[in-house]
Amino acid sequence: MKRKIIAGNWKMNNNNAQTKELIKQIAPLVKDAKCEVVVCVPFTDLDAARRAVRGTNIKLGAQNVHWAPKGAFTGEISAEMLLEQKVQYVIVGHSERRQYFGETDESVNARAKAAIAAGLKVIICVGETLEEREAGKTTEVVVRQTNAALKGFEKIDLKKVVIAYEPVWAIGTGRTATSQDANDTIAIIRKAVRKLYGKTAANAMRIQYGGSMNAKNAAELLAMPEIDGGLIGGASLKAEDFAVIVNSAK
Ligand code: PGA
């Protein structure tokens, strides 16, 4: 059986003191979790978070990583730097990075490959915009993004990959995909992985849903057969809500 994975994406929220406090609140609430629990914090909170998660079952994640090991890339952070902070997971290709920071299918692939080569696990985000959905292009978009993101991967690398299906129109809007829609699109993504790497690898891959997942809708989404976890934005900033989601992942 695959273990589900619930990851909080804190985005650009929380200073060091708030980080310490929030993890302190979350830890006892999720200590008996049946799933993997991750918090992806801002770079400047990694040190505080690393100390706070010590001795808990919460794993540390970051929100982006550069493809080069070092060099003249102002504002970027390398995989080595994340490893030094005991980071295990890194989000790559979040739609906010694609939308506002010029992230492309190619750069997502480069970042993911470098992260894995360095020893990190990646959460690669894919998902259609409202415009694409309304134009009937959801399948085309998620398949293109999945193929591009996994280009050049060895089969063995796939063990370190989690895909997050996050319809852009559902992120931070309070508009969740229906559990059936989320399930069906994840099945499409899994089929794309199967075409590239075969059935065993595709079935073993964990594919999360993200986009306004909250304490109320998590159980229904996480009960769907294709949904292997969640990437949680807003609700991950409230300890009790995040814990309810974590504890709904059986
Ligand atoms: P949300 O964000 O849960 O606030 O919609 C999800 C995400 O962006 O990963």
What's the CATH number where 126 sits?
3.20.20.70
Name the residue at shortest CA distance from atom 3 of ligand 1. 233
Domain span holding position 72: 5-248
| Predicted confidence (pLDDT) per residue in 104-152, tens digit | 999 999 999 999 999 999 999 999 999 999 999 999 999 999 999 999 9
Name the residue at shortest CA distance from atom 6 of ligand 1. 233
- Cβ-contact 8, 232 below 8 angstroms: yes
| Residue 1 pLDDT | 76
- Cβ-contact 107, 149 below 8 angstroms: no
| Residue 174 pLDDT | 87
17 burial level (CB within 10 Å; 0-12, 13-18, 19+): exposed
Cα(199)–Cα(178) distance, rounded to whole angstroms?
26
Specify the pTM: 0.98
Pocket test for ligand 1, best of 171, 222, 237, 241 (most atoms within 8 A of CB): 171
Cα(63)–Cα(76) distance, rounded to whole angstroms?
11
Residue 66 designated active-site: no
| Residue 26 pLDDT | 98
Residue 103 designated active-site: no
Number of domains in the chain: 1
Check 66, 94, 96, 128 and give the catalytic one. Answer: 94
